[in-house]
């Protein structure tokens, strides 16, 4: 149950259902009991799927205040709010405020990023994910992007494990350097 888009929500490109299914196939059961971060949440479909698969906490980060408000209302309406936190802020700000510099580490187990494809956000945000206290030791990061575009093999503390292609969309899987992904 994701947000229905209204006329004028042209900046939101929902993750296709086949790609959404692929994300959770890649995660292969890691979602249950995890702290899941849906950066650039948009309609909230990925984060809601994570909740339905047993994530213990889901952070929906959406810079568009109207969209974030609608997402909060939707989560309130379905009784999902105890596990969900919707924050109307930019991904970069959330990452900076969620590390140990603020005194309380987030320790995300899974981070999904799906910014607008031509925005340049991935290059800006991926290196920030290694901020102290933001990622758990065995964290997994999945970045959705246009297939035409290739992401770096290493960025900050993250190392690309594999890229999966689904037509015009690709998912790049990153793990922390030295971590295992089985």
Percent pLDDT > 90 in the chain is: 66
CA angle 174–178–181, rounded 5-degree value: 50
Q: Are 32 and 55 in contact (CB under 8 A)?
A: yes
pLDDT computed for residue 177 by the predictor: 79
Rounded to the nearest 10°, the torsion over CA 25, 180, 132, 114 is -20
Q: Angle 17-27/45-52 helices, nearest 10 degrees?
A: 40
pLDDT digits (tens, 9 = 90+) for 134-180: 999 999 999 999 999 999 999 999 999 999 999 999 999 999 877 77
Domain boundaries, the chain: 17-176
pLDDT digits (tens, 9 = 90+) for 76-114: 887 777 789 999 999 999 998 887 655 568 899 999 999
Q: State the Cα–Cα distance between residues 128 and 61, nearest whole angstrom.
A: 15
CATH number listed for the domain at residues 17-176: 3.40.50.150
């Amino acid at each position: 149950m994701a947000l229905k888009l209204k006329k004028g929500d042209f900046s939101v490109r929902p993750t296709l259902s086949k790609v959404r299914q692929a994300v959770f196939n890649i995660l292969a059961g890691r979602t249950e009991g995890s702290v899941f971060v849906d950066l650039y949440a948009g309609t909230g479909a990925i984060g809601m799927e994570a909740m339905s698969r047993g994530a213990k906490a889901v952070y929906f980060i959406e810079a568009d205040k109207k969209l974030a408000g609608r997402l909060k209302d939707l989560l309130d309406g379905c009784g999902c709010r105890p596990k969900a936190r919707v924050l109307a802020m930019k991904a970069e700000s959330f990452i900076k405020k969620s590390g140990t510099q603020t005194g309380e580490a987030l320790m995300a187990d899974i981070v999904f990023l799906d910014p607008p494809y031509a925005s340049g956000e991935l290059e800006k945000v991926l290196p920030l994910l290694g901020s102290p206290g933001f990622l758990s030791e065995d964290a997994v990061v999945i970045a959705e992007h246009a297939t035409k575009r290739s992401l770096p093999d290493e960025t900050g503390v993250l190392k690309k494990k594999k890229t999966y292609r689904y037509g015009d969309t690709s998912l790049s899987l990153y793990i922390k350097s030295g971590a295992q992904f089985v």
